[in-house]
Amino acid sequence: MEAAEKLAGVLLDTRSHLSVDALLDATTALVQDCDHPQIRKSRPIEHFLERYKRPIEDLQKRRIKICDFDSIKVIGRGAFGEVQLVRHRTSKKVFAMKSLDKSEMIRRADSAFFWDERDIMAHTDSEWIVRLYYAFQDARYLYMVMEYMPGGDLITLMSNYECNEQWAAFYIAELVLAVDVIHSVGYLHRDLKPENVLLDRRGHVKLADFGTCVKMDKDGVARCSSAVGTPDYISPEALQFQGVAGEFGPELDWWSVGVLLYELLIGETPFYADSLAGTYARIQNHDSQLEFPDDVPITPNAKDLIKRLLSDPKVRLGKKGVDEIKAHPFFTSCDWTFSTIRQATPPVVPELTSDDDTRWFEEVGPKQPNPGDGFQLPKAFTGNQLPFIGFTYSNELGPAHHIQLKHAATKATQNGSGPELIALRQDKQLAQLELSKVRADKDRFETDLGTTRVELKIQTEKLKEMENALEQERRYVESERQARNAAEVNAGTKDKEKTMMEVEMRQTIGRHERELKTKEMRIDSLVHSEISLRSETEKLQKSLAQKEAAMKSLEEALQKSLAQKEEVALKSLERQLQETELSQARVEKEHVETELRDLKLRNRSLEGRCHDQEETLGAERDVIELFKNELSTTRLELQMQAEKLKELEHALDQERRYVESERLARHIAEENASTNDMEKTMFEIELRQTIGRHERELKAKDMRIETLLQCEGNLRSELDALQQSLAQKEASLKSLERQLHETVNLATAPNKRKSFGAPNEMQSPFGPTLLKCQESFRSVSNASICSGDLSQLSKEQLIKCFDREKNMKELTIQKLREVSAQCNKYKNELSKKGRLDSNKKRGQEIATLQQQLNHEINKAREAEQLYEREKDELNKLLTDEQQCTDRLRDELAQARRNEEDLLAKLGETSSTTSRDIESQSARQNGDVDTYSNCSSSISTPNGSRSSAVVPLVEKIRNAGSEEVLLQSKCQLRASANLPKKVRKNGWIPVVTMISVSQLRVIGEDQTEIVIDVADIKHARNVKQPDIRSASEKELKRIFHILYTEPTTSGNLSICASMSSIATVAQSAAATHSFVEVSFHLPANCDFCNTRLNEFFRTVPALECTCCKKRYHKNHLEDPKFPACNMSRGGRELMLMCESSEERARWITMLEALIKRSLKASS
C-alpha cells in the first residue's frame, strides 16, 4: 500500500520525469516517430501502431493544443520561432505564446536550452519573473503560453522617452531584484539586455527569455565553454574563456546590469563598435575604453556604480552578494526602498485601452517562408520526438490536477466529512465562478470606460480645434472690417469702385457671418455631445461602483456562507461524536447492571449453602461495595474531564475560526487598501498629466496669438509700403509727363536741340520718332554750320543749301507735331492702364526667364545623362583594356626572363652567336610590342575596343600628380563625436576624390582627410560582421579602406586602430593582433576562402584588429600563412557610395593604384 502511494505521488508530481504528462508525451512521441512509411515495414512496429495510433489521436484531441487559442497578433520573432498574442477560447484570457521549431532545436548544439526556460518560468513563483501557464507540443513545434506584458520592453521605453537618473535607478533596482531571484534558484541568466526586460500593465519590470540560462552547482559556480550572449552586453571573462572550459559566478550578470545602466543614461552601450571584433576588443580593454561623454550630465554616484559594475570580476560589485549593490549610494536618494519598490508608482505607466492592446510593441513584418523547415522524411528510426518527452506542462488543465481533486474528495468522504464537505466545495466553486464573472464584468466596464475616455478626449480635441478655427474666423472678419474701413478712408472720388467694393465686402461679411453661425451651431452640437458623453461616463462610473459594491457583497456573502457551512458541519460532527460516546456508555452501563444481577442471583443461591461464611462474604461484600463506589467516582471524574476536553476543543475551534475570519478580513482590507492606493495614484498621475497638457495648450495658444499679432503688424507694414510705392509710382508718372512736355517744348526751340536727351526717348513708345527728329536736328544743324562760310559757295549752291535747310526745318516741324500727338496719346494710355502695364511686363519677363531656366535645366539633365552613359561605357572599356594590358605585361616579363636565361647560358660565346641572340630577343620584343600595340583592337565579350580609349593603367601612368582620376559624392562612416542614439547609424555626407598621389575626403564644412596613396594597403567590399548596423542594401554600396599614418586636417571622425587582444607566437602569425571571434553572420576565411560561420555550431576563428582579415584558427600552423601588412598601426575608413556600380569603380581604381605603389616600392 505504501509503495502504491509513493508511485501515485511520483505520477502526480509535475516536476517528476515520470509524471502523467511525461508518460503521455512518451507514448505520443513513440507513435509519431514510428508512423512513417519506411519504418512501418517492420511487423512489430506495425502491430504497435495498429494498437495505439487511434487511442493516441483521441488523446491528443483531449489534451491542451494550439486550436484552443485564437491568435491576435505577432509581437516578436527570433531565429528559432516567434511570439504571438493569443486568447484562450474558453476562459477568454489573453496570453503571450512562444513557439519554437523542433527541427531547429535538434540541429542547435545547445538544444536543451528550452528545458531551463520552461522550468524557471513554471516553478519560480516570483513577481519579478514572467510566469508560464501552459507548455505543450505537436509534431513540429513547442509552445509556451506565458503571461502577457502589455507595457513592452526597455527598448521601446528608451526610444519614446529620455531616461534621467531617477528613472534609471527605479528600473535598475527592479532588475537587480529580478536577477537576484534567478540567482537564488540556482541559475545564471547570461543574456541580460533591454529586449529581455519587460514591463507589465502597471509599468513594473519582469525578466524574460531564459533560453541562455545555465545551472550553477552547490558552490554557486557555473561551468561552460562558450561565450553566450549579445555582443554589446557580454562580459570580458566570458570572452576570455571562449572555446575553453571556464567557471563563472553571479558577477557575470552584474556586468550586463552595468551596461544596461550606462545605456539608460547615455543612450548607447559603452563599448559599441561597427565590427564584432572591435566590440570584443573594447570589452577586453574596458579599463581604458570606458568613457563618459561630456554632453550628458551624470552624477558621481552613477559613475561610481557603473565603474564598479564594469570592472574586473574579482573586484566587481555584487561578487559578495546582492546586498552590496542594494547598499550603493546611487539608490539611497530615492523615494522608495528595495522592499517597497513593488508598491511604488513606476516612472511610466503604459496607457492601455484593452487587455489585448499592443501599442507598446513594434510592428513585426510577415514571416519569410523557409522550405527547409520541419523534419525530413526518415528512412529509419531517428527518434526526433524523443528529446521533447516531458515538455508538456498542463497546470490546471492537465489530468494530474483532476486526479488530485478526485483523490482529495474521496479521502474526505472516507474520513466521514461526507456529502457536507463535497457540497461545501461545490458551493465554493460556484461562488468562485460567480466571482470570476463579476470580475470579468468589471474588466469589461473598465475597458468601456477607457474607450469612452479616449472618445471624450478626441471630442475635446475636436472642440478645441473648432474653437481655434472660430477664433481665427473672428480675427479674419475683424481684419476684413478693418481693411474695409481703411479702404473707405483711403478711397478716392470714384463712387462706382467704392460701391462695388462695399457690395463685395458686404457679401464677404455675410458669407463669413453665415459660416460663423454654422460653426457656432457645430460647436453647440459638440458641447451637447460632450455633455452627453460626460453623463454617460458618470453613469458608467456609477454602474462600475455598483458592480464593485455587488462584488464586495458577494465576496462577503461567500465568506459568511463558507464559515456558516463549516460551522454547521463541525457541529453535526460533534453531535455524531457525542451520540457515539453516549451509546458506548449505555452499553457499558447495561453490561455492568447485567453483571450485578448475576452476582445477586449467585448470592441468593449461595446464602443457604454458605451460611457459615456470612461474615467472610459480608466482608467481601463491603470490599465490593467500596470498589464499586471508587469505580463510579472514577467514571464520573472521567466523564467530567471528557466534557471539559470537549468544551476546550469547542472553544479552540471557535478561536481558530475567529482568527481565520480576522485574517481573511484583514487580507481583504489590505487588498482593498492597496487597490485604493493604486487607483488614487493613477488618478493623481492622470490629473497631473491633464494639468500639464492644459498648461501646454494654453502656452501654445498664447504663442499662436503672439504670432498672429506679429503677422497683423507685418501685413500692416506691407500695406503702408504698398501705399508708399503707389504714391511714388504716381509721382514718377507725373514727372514723366513733365519730361514729355519739356521734350516737346525743347523740340520747338531750335537753339535747344542738343538738350533733347536720348534716355527719355528710349523710355517711351515713340522713341523711334524722336530718334528721327534728332537726326533731322543734326542734319539741320550741320546745314546751318555749313552755311557759315557763304563766301566760298556759288549762288546756285547757296540756293540749294537754303532750300535744303528750309525743307529740313519743315520736316522737323512736322516730326515734332507727330511727337506731340503721340505724347498726348501715350499720356492718355498711361492714365488708363496705371500700374497694370508694369505688372504685366514684369510677369512676362518672369515667365520668359522661367522658360529659359527650365530649358537650361533640361539641357543640363540631358547632358548629365549623356555623360553618365558615356562614363559607364568608358569604364567597361577601361576594365577590359586593363585586363588585356596586365596579360600583355605578364607575357612581356616572361619574354624578358627568357632572354636573361638565354644570355646567362650562352655567356662567353662568340660575338656572332651573341648578335644572333640579341637580334632574336629584339625580334621577340618587337613581337610583344606589336601585340601590345594591337591590343586596342582586340575583340572582347563587350564588343571591339576603340583605339581612342586609353587603358586604366595608361591613364594612371600618363596622369599628373594632382590630376583627379575619380570623384563622387559618398557618405563617411563616423563612430564618435555624434549625438547619442545616432552613433550606430552615423554617416557624414562627403565628396571623395582620388589622384595618383592622394585620396581626399572633403566634408560639408570644408574639413578634409588627406591620405597618401602609398599608405593605402587594402580596399575591399564589406560583409555583415564588418558593420553590424548596416542593412543589406547598404552593404552593397559600402567599401572599406585600410591605410597607415594618414595626414588629417579638420575634425572628421574616423575609426581609430584598436589595441591587440591576443597575439599568437608563430612566424607570420606573430605580426597579427588576433581576437578570437565566433561568427554567426556570413563571413569567409581570407586564407582558404571557405565559410567561417556555421548555423548550428561555432567554428574557432580569428580576426586581426590591424588588417581586419579573418582566418580559421587551424591555419596558424600553415607555412604559407600570410603576415600582417598593417604592422605600423593601421586605420580604417568606410565609405558608402550612391550605387554598387560606383563602389566597383572605386575598388578597381584603388586596387590599380595599390599595385602601382607596390611595384614602385619594390
Q: Among 170, 192, 331, which Cα is nearest to 258's?
A: 192
Query: Is 863 contained in some domain?
Result: no
Structural domain boundaries enclosing 100: 1-150+359-368+379-419
Is there a single domain that holds both residue 201 and residue 231? yes
Lowest mean pLDDT among 118-132, 198-212, 734-748, 1023-1037: 734-748
The pLDDT score that the predictor gives to residue 687 is 80
Q: For position 103, what pLDDT does the model report?
A: 84
Least confident of 256-265, 315-324, 857-866: 857-866
Helix, strand, or coil (residue 535) = helix
CATH of the domain at 78: 3.30.200.20
Weakest-pLDDT range from 712-716, 964-968, 1060-1064: 1060-1064
Higher pLDDT, 93 or 752: 93
Distance separating alpha carbons of residues 1002 and 75, to the nearest angstrom: 44
Say what percent of the chain tops pLDDT 90. Answer: 16
Top-confidence residue, 219 or 518: 219
The sign one gets for the Cα dihedral 15, 19, 20, 26 is positive
Report CA torsion sign: 660, 661, 664, 670: negative
Residue 981 has what pLDDT?
A: 43
Is 118 in the same domain as 159?
no
CATH number of the domain residue 1082 falls in: 2.30.29.30
What lies within 8 Å, CB to CB, of 309 at 6+ separation is 254, 255, 257, 258, 261, 316, 317, 318
For residue 98, say whether it is annotated as part of any ligand binding site: yes
Average pLDDT estimate for 138-144: 92
For residue 457, which amino acid is it? K
pLDDT 10s digits, 644-698 = 888 888 888 888 888 887 878 887 888 788 777 777 877 778 788 878 887 888 8
pLDDT tens, residue by residue, 799-816: 666 667 667 766 767 766
DSSP 15: T
Window from 453-467, 722-736, 1022-1036 with minimum mean pLDDT: 453-467
At 495, is the secondary structure helix, strand, or coil? helix
780: which 3 cell numbers? 539741320
464 is written with which cell numbers? 478645441
Q: Give yes or no for residue 552 having a pLDDT over 60.
A: yes
Considering the domain architecture, whether residues 202 and 141 belong to the same structural domain is answered as no
Please tell me the predicted confidence (pLDDT) of residue 204.
95
Distance CA 279, CA 1027 (A): 11
Our count of domains for the chain comes to 3
Residues in Cβ contact with 339 at an 8 Å cutoff, skipping those fewer than 6 apart: none
Query: Looking at the domain assignment, is residue 951 inside a domain?
Result: no
**Cα–Cα distance measured from residue 750 to residue 773, given in angstroms and rounded to the nearest whole number:** 12
Q: What is the pLDDT of residue 368?
A: 65
* pLDDT (0 to 100) of residue 1132: 82
On the question of pLDDT at 433 being above 80, the answer is: no
388 and 282 inside one domain: no
Alpha-carbon distance 232 to 1116, whole Å? 28
Which residues are registered as beta bridge partners of 393?
Answer: 135
* In a domain? residue 600: no
CATH number for the domain that contains residue 175:
1.10.510.10
DSSP label of 186: T
| C-alpha dist (Å) from residue 235 to 189, 231, 389 | 12, 9, 34
CA dihedral 698, 704, 709, 712 (to 10 degrees): -150
245 C-beta neighbours (distance < 10 Å), count: 9
Higher-pLDDT residue of 168 and 544 is 168
pLDDT of residue 291: 92
What pLDDT score was predicted for residue 726?
A: 72
Arithmetic mean of pLDDT, 757-765: 42
Q: What percent of the chain has pLDDT over 70?
A: 62
Burial (0-12, 13-18, 19+ Cβ within 10 Å), 270: buried
- 773 Cβ contact list (under 8 Å, min separation 6): 747, 756, 812, 815, 816, 819
Distance in angstroms (rounded) separating the CA atoms of residues 646 and 577 = 10
Looking at the structure, tell me whether residues 259 and 338 fall in a common domain: yes
Same domain, 84 and 195: no
User: Do 206 and 307 share a structural domain?
Assistant: yes
Residue 686 lies in a domain: no
Considering only CA atoms, which of 181, 203, 200 is closest in space to residue 121? 181
- The band of 1054, judged by pLDDT with boundaries at 50, 70 and 90, is very low
In the predicted structure, residue 292 carries a pLDDT above the cut 80: yes
Looking at the predicted structure, is the pLDDT value of residue 1049 above 70?
no
Cα dihedral 927, 932, 935, 937 in deg (nearest 10): -70
**Nearest-5° Cα angle at 482, 479 to 485:** 150
Task: Name, of 40-49, 653-662, 787-796, the range with top average pLDDT.
Answer: 40-49
Q: Are 203 and 139 in the same domain?
A: no
973 and 1114: one domain? yes
Cα 1138 from Cα 868, distance rounded (Å): 14
Tell me if residue 129 falls in helix, strand or coil.
strand
Q: 1085-1107, pLDDT tens digit by residue?
A: 888 877 776 644 567 788 887 77
Confirm whether 112 is domain-assigned.
yes
CA distances to 272, 374, 505, 1108 from 277, in Å: 11, 34, 76, 9
Whether the predicted pLDDT of 983 surpasses 60: no
Give yes or no for a contact between 338 and 324, defined as CB atoms under 8 angstroms apart.
no
Q: Return the C-alpha torsion angle 370, 372, 375, 379, nearest 10.
A: 150
Confidence label for 722 from pLDDT (cuts 50, 70 and 90): confident
Going across the sheet that includes 1008-1012, the strands are 1016-1021, 1038-1044, 1130-1136, 964-973, 987-995, 998-1003, 1008-1012, 1047-1049
pLDDT of residue 439: 61
For residues 299 and 171, membership in a common domain is answered with yes
Q: Which phi and psi angles does 246 have, rounded to 5°?
A: -135, 165
What whole-number distance in Å separates Cα of residue 20 and Cα of residue 261? 45
Give the per-residue pLDDT at 1031: 80
All 3 cell numbers of residue 856? 537650361
Q: Which residue has the higher pLDDT, 571 or 1048?
A: 571
Per the annotation, the verdict on 357 as an active-site residue is: no
Q: Tell me if 1136 is assigned to some domain.
A: yes
pLDDT digits (tens, 9 = 90+) for 238-268: 888 776 778 889 999 999 999 999 999 999 9
Answer yes or no: do 140 and 155 share one domain: no
Domain-embedded: residue 284: yes
Catalytic residue, from 21, 191, 357, 880: name it. 191
User: Which pLDDT band, with edges at 50, 70 and 90, does 758 fall under?
Assistant: very low
Query: Residue 690: in which H helix or E strand, if any?
Result: helix 614-748
For 1091, which DSSP code?
B
> CA 429 to CA 435: how far, in whole Å?
10
Residues 93 and 186 reside in one and the same domain: no
Average pLDDT over residues 177-191: 94
Q: Place 781 in a pLDDT band, splitting at 50, 70 and 90.
A: very low
Report yes or no on 972 lying in a domain. yes
For 434, counting Cβ atoms within 10 Å of its Cβ (0-12 exposed, 13-18 middle, 19+ buried), the class is middle
Cell (9 digits) for 747 = 523740340
C-alpha span between 442 and 706 (Å, rounded)? 48
